[in-house]
Amino acid sequence: MSHNPQDLKQRLSMLEYLQRHSWKARPIGAHEEFVGLCPLHPESHPSFYVNAVKNVFYCHGCGRGGDLIRFVQLYLNLSFQETIAHLNNELGLSATGEDAVLKETAAFYQHQLDGHSEAWDYLYSRGLHDPSLIRQLNIGYAPGGTLRRHLTSMGYSFELLLQLRLIDQRGHDAFYRRIIFPCFDGGRFSNIYGRSIDNSAPHRFLPCPKGELFAWNTVGASPEVILVEGLFDLAVLWQAGFVNTTCAFGTHLTPAQFLQLSDNPTRKVFIAFDSDPNGAGQSAARSLAQQLRSVGLKACIVDLPEGQDPNDYFVSGATWADFNRHLYRAHSL
């Protein structure tokens, strides 16, 4: 694993990185410069320039520029160290064992689910009752106090588990009494999301990029996509038959997620964010709909009963037909 920024920039050029992430551009002059739409903000006219010789970028639309590391920091909203780790992953230079230990962690949590009734009680309370769906989403449970012993018995070092933030300095589990959703990025394990089943901080991710839109490998092929805030929203919609649902882990999409959502100009996006009493979800939905429209997509806002998100709506007794009526009545700006 390389920690030398210059070494990483020599191994992976700015242009190659952008092309890996579906950036479309046209050459200018002697093919030393390329121009295309800016990945850092919505725009309809190309203003993002890359100099392939100097290995730098500049956008005349948003005024941001720099080298590959600066671009990745902005593009994925990462710290410097997180950016270095991300670029190592791009080059296949991940430290030996990191991917394996994350996969083993997720598998361990999936195995734990069957033996803990409090986890099943919580899933039922959130409207999830289909075992096949729970297996499909690789949902697990972190009871706490057991992960370190399991992983070290398999030969993984305390230092590696600490580096990945799976445990703290005292060896305690980072995820404790949490329902676990593994997250993937292009088929590669990218993160772990944990939802508390009690009164502790409800949401937790590992301190690394959250990755792409959830299940985008399959959802992205649909001509109509439903976008929700959270994974429990997604789970109940999949259970009800709306398997064209994806999730961005909140209302604010990263530039990479926005690029995914807008990569097909014929796609229709239904934004089904939370109907918050303070209007925050609805405001975020309107803002995103405007951004999607600015790049040529059709975006509609799904209005749910006040105070409810899709998960609440189904827990309250809604059916496929009920939610489908909301989709039919969804409105554009």
How would residue 186 be classed by pLDDT, with cut points 50, 70 and 90?
A: low
Question: Is the predicted pLDDT of residue 187 greater than 70, yes or no?
Answer: no
Give the integer Cα–Cα distance in Å for 259 and 217.
14
Question: Is the predicted pLDDT of residue 178 greater than 80, yes or no?
Answer: yes
Percent of the chain with pLDDT over 90: 60
- Is residue 29 in a domain? yes
Mean pLDDT of 98-109: 89
The alpha carbon dihedral of 212, 267, 333, 315 has a sign of: negative
The answer to whether 317 and 235 have CB atoms below 8 angstroms apart is no
How would residue 133 be classed by pLDDT, with cut points 50, 70 and 90?
A: very high
Between the alpha carbon of residue 296 and those of residues 247, 262, 266, 269, 331, the distances in Å are: 21, 8, 8, 11, 16
Whole domain around residue 171: which residue ranges?
A: 98-205
Q: Give the per-residue pLDDT at 154.
A: 84
Mean pLDDT of 294-302: 93
In tens, the pLDDT along 304-318 reads 999 999 999 999 999
Q: Same structural domain for residues 16 and 115?
A: no
Q: What domain count does the chain have?
A: 3
Mean pLDDT of 157-173: 90
Closest CA to 144 of 103, 182, 200, 183: 200
Q: Give the per-residue pLDDT at 122.
A: 97
Q: Are strands 298-301 and 268-271 parallel, antiparallel or unpaired?
A: parallel
- Is residue 122 in a domain? yes
Question: Is the predicted pLDDT of residue 217 greater than 60, yes or no?
Answer: yes
Degrees, nearest 5: CA angle 234-235-240: 100
Question: The domain that contains 44 carries what CATH number?
Answer: 3.90.580.10
Give the integer Cα–Cα distance in Å for 184 and 138.
11
Mean pLDDT of 240-262: 92
Question: The domain that contains 199 carries what CATH number?
Answer: 3.90.980.10
Q: Same structural domain for residues 71 and 141?
A: no
How would residue 193 be classed by pLDDT, with cut points 50, 70 and 90?
A: very high
Q: What is the 3-state secondary structure (H, E, C) of the chain?
A: CCCCHHHHHHHCCHHHHHHHCCCCEEEECCCCEEEECCCCCCCCCCCEEEECCCCEEEECCCCCEECHHHHHHHHHCCCHHHHHHHHHHHCCCCCCCHHHHHHHHHHHHHHHHCCCHHHHHHHHHCCCCCHHHHHHCCCEEECCCCHHHHHHHCCCCHHHHHHCCCECCCCCECCCCEEEEEEEECCEEEEEEEEECCCCCCEEECCCCCCCCCCHHHHCCCCEEEEECCHHHHHHHHHHCCCCEEECCCCCCCHHHHHHHCCCCCCEEEECCCCCCCCHHHHHHHHHHHHHHHCCCEEEECCCCCCCCHHHHHHCCCCHHHHHHHHHHCECC
Closest CA to 302 of 281, 277, 280: 281
Q: Same structural domain for residues 221 and 323?
A: yes
Q: Same structural domain for residues 56 and 10?
A: yes
- Tell if the pTM clears 0.95, that is, is over it: no
Q: Same structural domain for residues 160 and 234?
A: no
How far from chain centre, in Å, is Cα 154?
A: 29
Question: Is the predicted pLDDT of residue 80 greater than 90, yes or no?
Answer: no
Question: Is the predicted pLDDT of residue 271 greater than 60, yes or no?
Answer: yes
- Is residue 45 in a domain? yes
Domain boundary among 90, 123, 139: 90
Phi and psi at residue 332, in whole multiples of 5°?
-95, 170
Mean pLDDT of 191-215: 88
Of 23-32, 69-78, 99-108, 284-293, the one with minimum mean pLDDT is 23-32
Mean pLDDT of 177-206: 87
Domain boundary among 66, 90, 114: 90
Of 113-127, 215-229, 250-264, 277-291, the one with minimum mean pLDDT is 250-264
For residues 135 and 191, which has the higher predicted lDDT (pLDDT)? 135
Six-digit token string for 251: 């209302």
Q: Give the per-residue pLDDT at 3.
A: 57
Q: Give the per-residue pLDDT at 87.
A: 82
